[in-house]
Chain A
Amino acid sequence: MNVTLQVWRQKGPGSPGAFKTYQVDAISAEMSFLEMLDVLNERLVNQGEDPVAFDHDCREGICGSCGVMINGRAHGPQPGTATCQLHMRRFPDGSTIVVEPWRAAGFPLVKDLVVDRSAFDRIIEAGGYISVDTGSAPDANLIPVPKTVADTAFDAAACIGCGACVAACPNGAASLFTAAKIGHLNLLPQGHAERWSRTERMVGVMEHYFGSCTNHGECEKACPKEISIDFIAMMNADFLRAKLANRRLAAQYR
């Protein structure tokens, strides 16, 4: 099949960027989207032109490295699918495909389709963990966790940190990412000791880097792991309670 690509090219954060049109002919419908970009890059190098920079690694939809806007949609047209798992058979032969980097103030551009998502690490280091030093854990079966709780915590923990939720949000908010980690840890009994401090700290850092959530729900639609915005509601509820809990004597709060 043949496709026409309009790819955002930009040398670096300080240089101007522009769309460039590339005709990519004679590709197989069985290829993944990133394999199609590999082919484009091989051809560009053979013509003496700089290849397109894009982040990618596992190509199994789990590492969260990849992710571009494809025809205006984060990770492209197939629901629940990261860019690396999207295949060319999803596009009609002869189509024109617009490829852009994640667009969000919280993700500064690095080059071409590569952005800097390190603000996500800042959110995690603010409290996205359970404080347990190596060696201090009790036997794993001392803490029973109801299966439904464990399953729901897992649904949140499935987040791959790709940033599609931010890119899809009209406000550039990172609420789904943050809520997924807060939900995962706050639901589990192991995470209860730090529930209120975690929530307040992570939300604080999130708001420093990203926009505010106004319940558009675009994040849920774009999420390759289909994480529910219910977790945002849970985060907001916990945030409210944290505001109270953290200001009283924490030990006395039920």
Chain B
Amino acid sequence: MTGLEAKIPEGPLENKWESHKFSVRLVNPANKRKLRVIIVGTGLAGASAAASLGELGYQVDVFTFHDTPRRAHSIAAQGGINAAKNYHNDGDSVRRLFYDTIKGGDYRSREANVYRLAEVSLNIIDQATAQGVPFAREYGGLLDNRSFGGAQVARTFYARGQTGQQLLLGAYQALMRQVKTRTVRLHTRVEMLDLVVKDGRAIGIVTRDLVKGEIARHSAHAVVLATGGYANVFFLSTNAKASNTTAIWRAHRRGAALANPCFTQIHPTCIPASDEFQSKLTLMSESLRNDGRIWVPKNPGDDRPPEQIPEIDRDYYLERRYPAFGNLVARDIASRAAKRVVDAGLGVGPLKNGVYLDFADATTRLGRRTIEERYDNLFEMYNRITDEDPYLVPMRIYPAPHYTMGGLWVDYNLMTTIPGLYAIGEANFSDHGANRLGASALMQGLADGYFVLPYTIGDYLAGLLNEPPVPTDDPAFGPVEDEVGDRVRGYLATGGSRTVDWFHRELGKIMLDHCGMSRSAQGLEKALSDIPALYEEFKTDLRVLGTGEELNQALERAGRVDDFFELAMLMCVDAREREESCGGHFREEYQTEDGEALRDDVGFAHVSAWEWTGDAARPEVQNEDLVFENVALTTRSYK
């Protein structure tokens, strides 16, 4: 394995990005026209990168498996986007946003990357506003902010409960402007199924046209993966149905290291599953915790309707255990606390799988009108899904897999361990450590796409002047295309008895039970014996009907679930090796007497970067030590 070189610039934290921007090589405009870049994915990171690189004059090919770039799952982000604007004079600064993000990530991310993220957060808000993103405004016409997820300053910009939608549409529109000027070629309903590497460099991808089934080769000077996270490994998650790991997993198999795969985030406020056919879970914005009070009955088996349970028989467990932060504790802590009470038999609802989020007190204190102004669209959404009116009865919520902090290992330039292959947005591991703060995902996706990659990729491309892209009839493409074709035909030829979804659901159950909110060596060992067994069955007993030469949605899913199986094993190995509790990774063996996470900064203040060895259960690891020069490692306390 090649050594991990994070390439963090020298100098004081505040100057690193500035001096790095000066030291990277530039490409002159006439040369940019000759350089080709492939971008896979059109969410916030992919669309913003494609638009920005197109504006700079590069030849960009952008790929999405959706029918249009605007469908990418960034669109579903509700709450907001952080930026250290300090428009409210409440003490915010780049340094504070940096500090909050490092601390929130439980000290498992790189100082230099996070500081840069906080710096460019300012530019993102300017850029989006200029594009016409309709952020919430105050009566004076200036931008409004709210505090979010327990932050002590109001730094979250928002567009009702649809911030992700509006930011994505801004990036999508910028992208379409470039498509019109032909700097960007758009490929819709085309899925990347493998990466092509030649002489150690990423030179292209192999794709499948989802309508015609055609398998094709594409070459470029650099390849950028902006393909999002892998929370659908759990089957039930808040991710869109098609979100998957295939692009990053295939890159991993071709030599890209995958970092901290076990760092997954479980979002505390989702609507609990209603039956076994549940296809996905819906998130309710975290902002609800600003006014809602979370509780369960004190006594197991208390079947009274919530309004008939008197105060004395209710346990407001977050307020009780964490008096300082109460219902606003960090996501991982709120999630585990909910799991604990439900596991203790105190769950509410028909399946006893939720906890109450109650607005009765807030309604009395603030009046129904204020509650309506703040949350009406969320209450309506809840009502539509559950047929219950949260103005009258408390909501029921339960944690669900939501975001994956792990991803492809990248250096400061966002390049993976394969030269010429970049990973941006949720697809990389870089900025959130072991836990992501609310309203930071949108910030990171857009930071990478608008303001980081356009600088750093130039440095690599500047070394390829006067070299045309490797032609697609190069021998390097042939075997990869054959492999992709064999894989597609293999699913169709298996001829077994079980559907893809059946396997996916079963895999999800194993992962939720053993590699979800709470993990143990014993449970992970069990998962590592159950997953390969199920995977064997998948290979022999899968049934996919139809052909590969048409729109075949089950066939698409088969490939994605296949890759989830291998990723799942790596996640369990990573979780087993990380013998500490930090952020979203909670190991039962490592907790304090009162059940709080016990971090081990001596043994585990590092990034675990895994390399594919050919055997999914026996990957090799290399550690990147995390050096903290600007913050002191403390224990997070919300008490």
Binding site for B on A (CB under 8 A): 11-12, 27-28, 30-32, 34-35, 38-39, 41-42, 45-46, 48-51, 53, 55-65, 78, 81, 85, 87, 89, 110-111, 114, 116-118, 120-121, 124-126, 128-141, 143-147, 150, 153-154, 157-158, 160-161, 184-185, 188, 190-191
Task: Decide yes or no: A118 and B188 within 8 Å by CB, A89-B387, A161-B70 being known contacts.
Answer: yes
| Bound CA–CA A64/B165 (angstroms) | 11
B130 and A121: CB pair below 8 A?
no
In this complex, how many residues of chain B approach chain A with their Cβ under 8 Å: the count is: 80
Query: Are B67 and A129 touching (Cβ within 8 A)?
Result: no
Chain B interface residues (CB < 8 Å from chain A): 48, 51-52, 55, 66-73, 75-76, 85, 87, 123, 125-132, 134-143, 159-160, 162, 165-166, 169, 172-174, 176-177, 179-180, 186, 188, 211, 240-242, 274-275, 277-280, 282-283, 381, 384-385, 387, 450-451, 454, 497, 499, 501-502, 543, 545-546, 550-551, 553-554
Instruction: Using A28-B274, A35-B277 as known contacts, say yes or no to A129 and B551 having CB atoms under 8 A apart.
Output: no
Q: Once the chains bind, are A39 and B132 in contact (CB under 8 Å)?
A: no
The docked-state distance in angstroms from the alpha carbon of A191 to that of B134 is 12
Nearest chain A CB to B211 CB, angstrom units = 6
3 pairs of A and B residues whose beta carbons are closest in the complex: A144-B141, A129-B173, A137-B130
Which residue from chain A places its CB closest to the CB of B77 in the assembled complex?
A: A62
What are 28 contact pairs spanning A and B, CB under 8 A? Answer: A28-B274, A38-B277, A45-B499, A45-B543, A53-B551, A56-B241, A58-B73, A60-B381, A62-B75, A62-B76, A62-B162, A63-B76, A78-B384, A81-B384, A85-B384, A124-B176, A126-B180, A129-B131, A130-B173, A134-B454, A138-B126, A140-B125, A141-B143, A144-B141, A147-B137, A147-B139, A160-B165, A190-B129
In the complex, what distance in Å separates the CA atom of A38 from the CA atom of B554? 11
Q: A65-B66, A190-B132 are in contact. Are A59 and B241 (CB under 8 A)?
A: yes
Find out whether the CB atom of A53 lies under 8 angstroms from the CB atom of B130. no
Nearest B-chain residue to A64, judged by Cβ: B71
| B142 shortest CB reach to chain A, Å | 5
Contact of A161 with B385 in the complex, beta carbons under 8 Å = no
CB contacts (< 8 Å) of A53 on chain B: these are: 551, 553
Minimum distance in angstroms from A36 CB to a CB of chain B: 8
CB-based contact B499/A137 at 8 Å: no
**Are B132 and A191 in contact, CB atoms less than 8 angstroms apart?**
yes
A126-B75 Cα distance, complex, nearest whole Å: 22
Find chain B residues with CB under 8 A from A28 CB.
274-275, 277
Contacts of B282 in A (CB 8 A): 59-60
Judging by beta carbons under 8 Å apart, are A57 and B71 in contact? yes
User: What's the nearest-Cβ distance from chain A to residue B366, in Å?
Assistant: 21
Is there an interface contact between B279 and A190, defined as CB atoms closer than 8 Å? no
Residues of A within 8 A of B136 (CB): 150
A50:B75 contact, CB within 8 angstroms = no
Given contacts A59-B241, A135-B127, contact A144 B169 (CB under 8 A): no
Query: What residues of chain A lie closer than 8 Å to B71, measured between beta carbons?
Result: 57-58, 63-65
Contacts of B169 in A (CB 8 A): 157
B502 x A154 contact (CB < 8 A): no
Q: A34-B279, A111-B551, A144-B140 are in contact. Are A161 and B68 (CB under 8 A)?
A: yes
- Assuming the A-B contacts A60-B282, A63-B240, A141-B142, are A132 and B130 also in contact, with contact meaning beta carbons closer than 8 angstroms in the complex? yes
Residue pair A87, B554 in contact (C-beta under 8 Å): no
Q: Which residues of B contact A140 (CB under 8 A)?
A: 85, 125-126, 128-130, 135, 143
CB distance from A234 to the nearest CB of B (A): 16
Instruction: Tell which of B72, B137, B554 touches A145, judged by Cβ atoms closer than 8 Å.
Output: B137
- Name A116's contact: one of B67, B87, B132 (CB within 8 Å): B67
Assess whether B279 is in contact with A42, with CB atoms less than 8 Å apart: no
Distance of B155 from chain A, by nearest CB (Å): 13
State in angstroms the CA–CA spacing of A17 and B71 once bound together: 28
The complex places the Cα of A51 from the Cα of B558 at a distance, in Å, of 14
